[in-house]
Amino acid sequence: MLLREILGQDIAVNQLQNALRQNRISHGYLFVGPDGVGKRTTALAFAQALNCLTRENGDGCGRCASCLKLAHGNHPNLHLIEPEGSTLRIQQIRAVQQSAQYRQLDAGWKVFVFLEADKLTLPAANSLLKVLEEPPANTVLILITKHTFGLLPTVLSRCQKISFTHLSASVIRELLITRHWLPAERASFVAALAGGNMTTALAAAESGELLQWREEAIGFLATLQTQPTPTIFQRVDQLERERERLGWLLETMILWCRDALLWQETHDRTLLVNTDKVEEIMKVSLNSNQLVQVLQALHEARRYLQQNANVRLTLESLFIELHQIILGGNLYHDRSCGDSF
């Protein structure tokens, strides 16, 4: 992939392209930001541009022999260093030191990309520092991390920081449609749930479980007004054992109620996430005040769980509160839809 093809990280890409245009390449870069937002992809695109035989406007051409090798992951100047187990070890850094001293087989730059650089052991970090202090010619080290905690200040000071941010839902939606051929309606739903993380979006799109979980969440909300308390507590027992599933269910409920509220307030289909469920959304009969209360309860529960609160107590409190809110009015004007909220 070329730098110009990377979406949603304009500031980071512009920094790198300006460095290429001005031929002011740092020997050390720190790519820092959340998981799943394109840090590794950008590092590979930067390596491709550095080694391109006919560089064009601060980017690779995508056609020369060097670009094609980088695109297929078999260029001798590109080295990916991943943690062995839970750490990046000094033996790996020593191997980098030796490799960096060798003359390049191809013209261009040797690029060493350290994935999860925050997992460097102290000896490994000190060894890496020596390379950063006296880098061989035409050598670039890229440290990729989601945070800088644990990295030596001396290592940080010798790297140019390139910051990455969460991807917008619109960018994720576009990527899912244009590069992963997901239907537009499904892409909108997956993108809204992904939390700015493309890796999460792809996993959700490929598994197919997300749509099943949505049906489960909608059905659960629809039957809250008729379920007795013991049945609600049985549901708590199940979800307490399935933390990942619980997170998705809460997000799905939030998006569903958000859509119902937006429809009541605007009657604008273009604002909805669940675009394939418009007819059902139109039949939700909780008033705006009730929907706001439901959303507040769901957001509060999500926040508590993110802070590692007791799962059982949080869910019991949430479901009882939702039960009471929903009892104030039927969820649907047409009761025949009650089983599929």
Domains of the chain: 3-163 (3.40.50.300), 208-340 (1.20.272.10)
Percent of the chain at pLDDT exceeding 90: 57
> In the structure, what pLDDT confidence band is assigned to residue 211 with cuts at 50, 70 and 90?
confident
Q: Which of 76-90, 191-205, 228-242 has the lowest mean pLDDT?
A: 228-242
> In the structure, what pLDDT confidence band is assigned to residue 24 with cuts at 50, 70 and 90?
very high
Alpha-carbon gap, residue 325 to 320, rounded angstroms: 9
Q: With 60 as the cut, is the pLDDT of residue 59 above it? A: yes
What tokens were used for 278? Answer: 């418009």
What tokens were used for 162? Answer: 């390139």
Give the model's pLDDT for residue 266: 94
Element (H, E) at 79: strand 78-81
CB 314 within 8 A of CB 304: yes
Give the model's pLDDT for residue 232: 67
- What lies within 8 Å, CB to CB, of 222 at 6+ separation is 331, 332, 337, 338, 339, 340, 341
- Amino acid found at 204: A
Alpha-carbon gap, residue 260 to 286, rounded angstroms: 9
Q: With 80 as the cut, is the pLDDT of residue 224 above it? A: no
Q: With 50 as the cut, is the pLDDT of residue 276 above it? A: yes
- What lies within 8 Å, CB to CB, of 115 at 6+ separation is 40, 80, 81, 82, 83, 144
b or e along 246-285 (b: 16 or more beta carbons within 10 Å of the residue's beta carbon)?
bbbbbbbbbbbbbbbbbbbeeeeeeebbbbbbeebbbbbb
> In the structure, what pLDDT confidence band is assigned to residue 105 with cuts at 50, 70 and 90?
low
Question: Sign of the CA dihedral 156, 160, 161, 164?
Answer: negative
Q: How far out from the chain centre does Cα 38 lie?
A: 9
Give the model's pLDDT for residue 50: 96
Residue 37: strand, helix, or coil: coil
Give the model's pLDDT for residue 328: 64
Give the model's pLDDT for residue 182: 87
What does the pLDDT average to over 96-121? 87
Give the model's pLDDT for residue 203: 84
CB 128 within 8 A of CB 120: yes
Q: With 90 as the cut, is the pLDDT of residue 327 above it? A: no
Instruction: Write down the mean pLDDT value for the chain.
Output: 88
> In the structure, what pLDDT confidence band is assigned to residue 127 with cuts at 50, 70 and 90?
very high
Q: With 80 as the cut, is the pLDDT of residue 210 above it? A: no
> In the structure, what pLDDT confidence band is assigned to residue 341 with cuts at 50, 70 and 90?
very low
CB 89 within 8 A of CB 124: yes
Give the model's pLDDT for residue 150: 84
- What lies within 8 Å, CB to CB, of 61 at 6+ separation is 52, 53, 54, 55, 67
What does the pLDDT average to over 41-60? 95
CB 31 within 8 A of CB 21: no
CB 167 within 8 A of CB 42: no
Of the ranges 87-91, 134-138, 244-248, 266-270, which is most confident? 87-91
pTM for the model stands at 0.78
Alpha-carbon gap, residue 318 to 155, rounded angstroms: 46
Percent of the chain at pLDDT exceeding 70: 92
What does the pLDDT average to over 242-254? 82
Q: Which of 51-60, 295-304, 314-323 has the lowest mean pLDDT?
A: 314-323
| CA angle in degrees (0–180, nearest 5) for 318-320-322 | 65
What does the pLDDT average to over 279-308? 91
Q: With 80 as the cut, is the pLDDT of residue 31 above it? A: yes
Element (H, E) at 192: helix 184-193
- The strand pair at 139-145 and 160-163 is best described as unpaired
What count of other Cβ atoms lies within 10 Å of the Cβ of residue 147? 10
b or e along 159-185 (b: 16 or more beta carbons within 10 Å of the residue's beta carbon)?
bbebebebbebebbbbbbbeeeebeee
